[in-house]
Structure 1
Amino acid sequence: MLTKTPQEAWSEFLETVEKRCSPTEFQNWFAPIRLREEVSEELCLEVPNIFVQEYLINNYKKELSSFLSVKATGELSLSFTISETKKAEPLPQIPLNQLASPSSQHALEVKLNPNYTFQHFIEGPSNQFVKSAAVGIATRPGKSYTLMFIHGGVGLGKTHILHSIGHQVRERHKKLRVYCITTEAFINDLVDNLRNKSLDRMKRFYRSLDVLLVDDIQFLQNRPNFEEEFCNTFESLINQGKQIVITSDKPPGQLKLSERLIARMEWGLVANVGIPDLETRVAILQHKAEQKGFRLPQSIAFFIAEHIYNNVRQLEGAINRLNAYCRLMKLDITQEVVESTLGELFQTSSHKKISVDNILKSVATIFGVRISDLKSSVRSKDVSFPRQVAMYLAKELINDSLMRLASAFGGKTHSTLLHAWKKIAGLVKKDERLRRQIDMARRNLEA
């Protein structure tokens, strides 16, 4: 192998990889790479952006070591350069108010909500990882994970975390340029600048930022022209080592966006905000009540939390309504008052037919996994355990043969489903957290 030139070794590596990966993956990640020059025994590759470099090293380092020589330090004899056409142009440090046009950026910037800070964010098992990662990013923006992608259902705290990052960065890094915007506002901004023929000014503005916070990226779906400009801005900032945080109601792979943009978003730190468990919902209710200046008895908080469980925003709305009603009517907070005041918000059971697809969707949301993974043959614990929970629920809630139920899980056998049901049935008796997760899944299915 050592008698071959680095170029010949690279060609052999490409031939091997092309046979293993899909045509789309090869075209996205390997076709754009160009050979530069040979420096003694080192292979120099020209890549269009840092994403391709990171993808190659993170996913194919072991394979590369089989084809390329290794230095005395143990590192591959490999170096990279970024294509000149993709390098970000150096920008002068111009104040934001000079870069922004009066009719666009200042008007569209999202003002950070003063209540959306880390101090007011109630942490629980469903959001602990997201909060920890967000605090790390806000402490050292652009250093740990230059891209963070936060996804989760409506009203679970994605915007709260986004604004919390903005607050902390502005507080601790006063010289950094922080900009928070919704995807809809970004689209409107682009339209305005196209109309006013000031697109270059908009590009300079966004590429001058140190921290870009983008809310609700799902609104970029089915808008290819706007998506392309966002992707260019995205790449420019990442190549400069700047920080980007994006929120969405779905993980990247479930968005109807280009493979190019999805691949870049999946390259970053992808974190899910799940539905809060019962204790977290109780803590949220009591914290919101404290902010409003009234005491919420723990028994009442548990009663409300057991009936409102899908949406943190609804919990806050329940506290606002309950507080206003009791103050105006001069009533003490009792369960009867809660039922009469919040009854229409309570999520009660219905008689709709439950299907395996509904179960998979509910379990995927609670455990933060993809529906496609639950139906796949992946055996890692973070996927196989939720899959077993889904099988348990299917047997418990659907009156059908084991064979037909199992086939809905990607063609599994009835013995696999029966084994999963027995395992979860045994665990649920002694695992309180699992019992609550299953109860939550049942409520989601019945709501």
Structure 2
Amino acid sequence: MLRRKKSPQFHCGKIVNNFTGNGYMSAQIAEDVWSNFVSFMENRCSRAEFENWIAPIEYVDGSDPVTLQVPNVFVQQYLLDNYKETLNNFFPKDKKGEPLISFLIKEQEKQKKKNSPPPKPKKKTDFGQELFFNTSYTFENFIEGPSNQFIKSAALGVASRPGKSYNPLFIHGGVGLGKTHLLHGIGHYVKKHHPKLKIQCITTEAFISDLVHHLRNKSVDKMKRYYRNLDILLVDDIQFLQNRLNFEEEFCNMFEALINQNNQIVVTSDKPPGQLQLSERMVARMEWGLVAHIGTPDLETRVAILQYKAEQTGLHLPSNIAFYIAEHIYNNVRQLEGAINRLGAYCRLMNLAVSKEVVDSILSEMFQAPVRSKISIDRILHSVASMFNVRESDLRGSSRTKEIAYPRQIAMYLAKELLGESLVKIASSFGGKTHSTLLHAWKKISAQLEKDDVLRRQVQMTRQNIEA
């Protein structure tokens, strides 16, 4: 547990310093910001990294600058070398871009009082490993959308009836889209509803480390007995098993043993099984059950995520600002969370309300620019056809019905915006239309975008799908 000392700024539980308009923090705000930083790092670091480098740091004082106590100079240096940018997102910085934080070096460890109660032991598995599930990663706070609704339902089905369906469940998708969240959500659900079941959640790297340890200690049989007696095994980032044949073989044997006993396995990866550099045997085993993809959240889902995260941190985020941020940050959920943390910290420290100007100032470097090199007319037509439920051939055709002509004009607008080609060449892709027809369509859609929020969101979603 992180230990904190009471600041001299506190007296009988009352705050002496208050937040000022000059950007200084009151003692309470400073301590809250430090708590937010610690919670943020706990969700982002590995457990070992957090316990070694973040947890030993003590909050001491909230005056300007904030004072932290570190056990030694190495912890201070590690914090500044590796997390300076994150610290700057939470705390003010000086003219040189350094976080306004003062450090006290702890000369020696204080002796604990003899009558102090012993610390509560961490919950461990029978194997002696700590069983840790992130408290923020539950099914209840997983924001659903078209890109992840199916996979969340599958994960909930596995958690409700382990070993009965979707076994193994293989979840794959890009970084920061919620794979680990679902894995830990399964763990929380099982612990609550099936407390007698033996469950383990482990990263692939941790599994490899365990195997190396037991090989050195000649206790591999003990490790095998432990894993093969589990009711549920959750494995994160299986891609790290690539090009490690000996470890892969042992994992595959364990995998088969659990499946043959109808014990549940859930695996996550950044790629589908067929794209991993693993043996055919391993790939075939992982494709036995359900292979499900978790995609990039759409605009409405990103807005819901932003609003939920803002509510959790006590930040008032107007709907129009949420849409503005979601339209410019769309690769993954972690970036959205980082944007809210950065925005919330700045607004609290500077006593500002959230506005478009503040967002542009604080988050502009996180905004993502479109990549045009891969965009083609075929891609544009495909995305528009999917959005408006029409056929691509109709967009290239001559039908003048509103159901076809309107999406065609949107496709022409996007083509002019995204393709660096002549109007004549672009227009010819729409069934031989003239450049004047294309220009008319572009002007019409441009004018409607100024006043039609629904159209603006539809075009934005289509554009992001094209640029993805």
With the shorter chain as reference, the TM-score category is 0.5 to 0.7
Q: Which residue in the other structure is 1:293 paired with? A: 314
Q: 1:173 aligns with which of 171, 175, 194?
A: 194
**TM-score between the two structures when normalised by the length of structure 1:** 0.60
* CA deviation string 1:348-368 (max 9, x = no partner): 245x63377xx79x99xx99x
* CA deviation string 1:6-56 (max 9, x = no partner): xxxxxxxxxxxxxxxxxxxxxxxxxxxxxxxxxxxxxxxxxxxxxxxxxxx
Q: What amino acid is the match of 1:149?
A: F
* Distance in 2, Cα, partners of 1:253 & 1:185: 23
Greater CA drift, 323-332 or 291-300: 291-300
How many Å apart are 1:264 and its aligned residue? 1.1
Q: 1:437 to 1:259 in 2, by over 3 A?
A: farther
* Distance in 1, Cα, partners of 2:214 & 2:360: 52
Q: 1:172 to 1:331 in 2, by over 3 A?
A: same
Q: What amino acid is the match of 2:248?
A: E
Q: Which residue in the other structure is 2:230 paired with? A: 209
* Distance in 2, Cα, partners of 1:441 & 1:309: 10
* Distance in 1, Cα, partners of 2:217 & 2:207: 15
Q: Which residue in the other structure is 2:249 paired with? A: 228
Secondary structure at the aligned position of 2:309 is classed as helix
Q: Which residue in the other structure is 1:125 paired with? A: 146
Q: What amino acid is the match of 1:264?
A: R
Q: What amino acid is the match of 1:440?
A: Q
* Distance in 2, Cα, partners of 1:169 & 1:334: 42
Q: 1:292 to 1:216 in 2, by over 3 A?
A: same
* Distance in 2, Cα, partners of 1:434 & 1:213: 38
Secondary structure at the aligned position of 1:179 is classed as strand
Q: 1:259 to 1:436 in 2, by over 3 A?
A: farther
* Distance in 1, Cα, partners of 2:158 & 2:243: 30
* CA deviation string 1:419-438 (max 9, x = no partner): 9xxxxx99xx9999975553
* Distance in 2, Cα, partners of 1:97 & 1:160: 21
* Distance in 2, Cα, partners of 1:144 & 1:418: 47
Q: Which residue in the other structure is 1:443 paired with? A: 467
* Distance in 1, Cα, partners of 2:354 & 2:455: 33
Q: Which residue in the other structure is 1:33 paired with? A: none
* Distance in 1, Cα, partners of 2:314 & 2:125: 43
Alignment of 1:359-438 (within 5 A): 437-438=461-462
* Distance in 2, Cα, partners of 1:173 & 1:98: 15
Q: 1:306 to 1:97 in 2, by over 3 A?
A: closer
Structure 2 segments unaligned to the other structure (5+ residues): 1-122, 388-410, 422-428, 432-437, 446-453
How many Å apart are 1:145 and its aligned residue? 1.9
Q: Which residue in the other structure is 1:192 paired with? A: 213
Q: Which residue in the other structure is 2:292 paired with? A: 271
Q: 1:354 aligns with which of 370, 374, 389?
A: 374
Secondary structure at the aligned position of 1:213 is classed as strand
Q: What amino acid is the match of 2:373?
A: K
How many Å apart are 1:294 and its aligned residue? 2.2
* Distance in 2, Cα, partners of 1:394 & 1:258: 44
Q: 1:392 to 1:242 in 2, by over 3 A?
A: farther
How many Å apart are 1:199 and its aligned residue? 0.3
Q: 1:240 to 1:436 in 2, by over 3 A?
A: farther
Q: Which residue in the other structure is 1:143 paired with? A: 164
Q: 1:230 to 1:394 in 2, by over 3 A?
A: farther
Q: Is the 1:112–1:167 contact (alpha carbons within 8 Å) kept by the matching residues of 2? A: yes
Q: What amino acid is the match of 1:126?
A: S
How many Å apart are 1:418 and its aligned residue? 8.0
* CA deviation string 1:323-351 (max 9, x = no partner): 1000000001000001101111110245x
How many Å apart are 1:277 and its aligned residue? 0.4
Q: What amino acid is the match of 1:441?
A: N
Residue 326 in 1 paired to residue 347 in 2? yes
* Distance in 1, Cα, partners of 2:223 & 2:357: 56
Q: Which residue in the other structure is 2:136 paired with? A: 115
How many Å apart are 1:295 and its aligned residue? 1.9
Q: What amino acid is the match of 1:296?
A: L
Residue 315 in 1 paired to residue 336 in 2? yes
* Distance in 2, Cα, partners of 1:298 & 1:353: 33
* Distance in 2, Cα, partners of 1:230 & 1:431: 50
Q: Tell me the matched-pair count.
A: 295
Q: 1:203 to 1:431 in 2, by over 3 A?
A: farther
Q: Which residue in the other structure is 2:204 paired with? A: 183
Residue 218 in 1 paired to residue 239 in 2? yes
Residue 155 in 1 paired to residue 176 in 2? yes
Structure 1 segments unaligned to the other structure (5+ residues): 1-95, 368-390, 401-416, 420-424
Q: What amino acid is the match of 2:333?
A: V
Q: 1:247 to 1:393 in 2, by over 3 A?
A: farther
* CA deviation string 1:254-298 (max 9, x = no partner): 111101111111111111100000000000000001111122100
Secondary structure at the aligned position of 2:150 is classed as helix
* CA deviation string 1:84-123 (max 9, x = no partner): xxxxxxxxxxxx96852x5xxx15x5x1000100000000
Q: Is the 1:99–1:201 contact (alpha carbons within 8 Å) kept by the matching residues of 2? A: no
Q: 1:326 to 1:318 in 2, by over 3 A?
A: same
* CA deviation string 1:193-235 (max 9, x = no partner): 1011000000000001001000000000111110001001100
Q: 1:393 to 1:117 in 2, by over 3 A?
A: farther
Q: 1:124 to 1:169 in 2, by over 3 A?
A: same
**Identity across matched positions, percent:** 62
Q: Is the 1:354–1:398 contact (alpha carbons within 8 Å) kept by the matching residues of 2? A: no
Q: Which residue in the other structure is 1:241 paired with? A: 262
Secondary structure at the aligned position of 2:140 is classed as helix
* Distance in 1, Cα, partners of 2:272 & 2:353: 43
* Distance in 2, Cα, partners of 1:431 & 1:182: 43
Q: Is the 2:162–2:264 contact (alpha carbons within 8 Å) kept by the matching residues of 1? A: yes
Residue 281 in 1 paired to residue 305 in 2? no
Q: Which residue in the other structure is 2:79 paired with? A: none
How many Å apart are 1:398 and its aligned residue? 6.5
* CA deviation string 1:375-395 (max 9, x = no partner): xxxxxxxxxxxxxxxx99998
Q: Is the 2:299–2:461 contact (alpha carbons within 8 Å) kept by the matching residues of 1? A: no
Q: 1:162 to 1:98 in 2, by over 3 A?
A: closer
